[in-house]
Structure 1
């Protein structure tokens, strides 16, 4: 059972989760192999040799409540309200925080937890997070994310200094504005599935990310 001891931790508790799929493989080892991609945990029933593959965790009431399941050893603190979200080969460890500081305080909070405001370097990741927000939250919510006009030169930079092109198709029409109503719109926002730039001291929700 080396694959279980190296990749999974046995949990004797009940943790809320969703997106469960049912399998009837040929034993617990087969369950663990099925769970290696696109799965964060699985339950196993020794009587029926069946398992449920769990693709994400969330805060809420679980559709089923096992007394024992196998959680994949991933570097994402699921019990600290972070969510391990997958879509195909795209993965992210994120936390949606509903209180509303300005951009700089939001980044400070993420850093204090060992993370950073979420960065979207691929369209696949953007689509994945937008789908999660649509399904679980509200597409109309506004979230601080990890880019801003760092050097006040009308260029948006991700936190690692990569440039976010003003021609990127993920911008909302008319964005980036950089200046509106006499203010500097320097800080990145995700709203309605698109990127916006807002005045940095606006109070907004935010999304933290941890590297996995």
Structure 2
């Protein structure tokens, strides 16, 4: 029985890139304290800096967040600087404004390791929730549990920094993406319920 299972037809591998695209991820970033350098992938560089050609280059915060909506930018920058000082989880939901005037709604989650070492690296994901449909879920996962899961997943990604296995990192990014979307849905439900209560 076991031999038959091993020798039998194997399922087709999952196309992780397609799964990430379908889930709404638009990019990832890493941050190093060396010269306040942000490194964005092409998707994040396009959305946050307005130029996909900046992908892979260390960027100052002002350039890496150039397309954050002017009304949201001060709060996002202030929030990141606070997390940068103490380390920990960075979570922000904000709008972006492209050079052509397109506005998108973004959920960003990342983690900055604590400590003063110049070798510490932060990592995060960018999720486009602009077209997030109203949820039909009747229950919401506990926010604390989701936040703790994101923190552990980011720690795992940090641990894999020196491992030459892009598929493992992609799997972690996919997990982070789905956790982020669950948190976004939970926030949407909470805000809707709060608004209903106030109107009542």
TM, length-normalised to structure 2: 0.22
User: Which one has the largest radius of gyration?
Assistant: 1
Structure with a larger share of its residues in strand: 1
Structure with a larger share of its residues in helix: 2
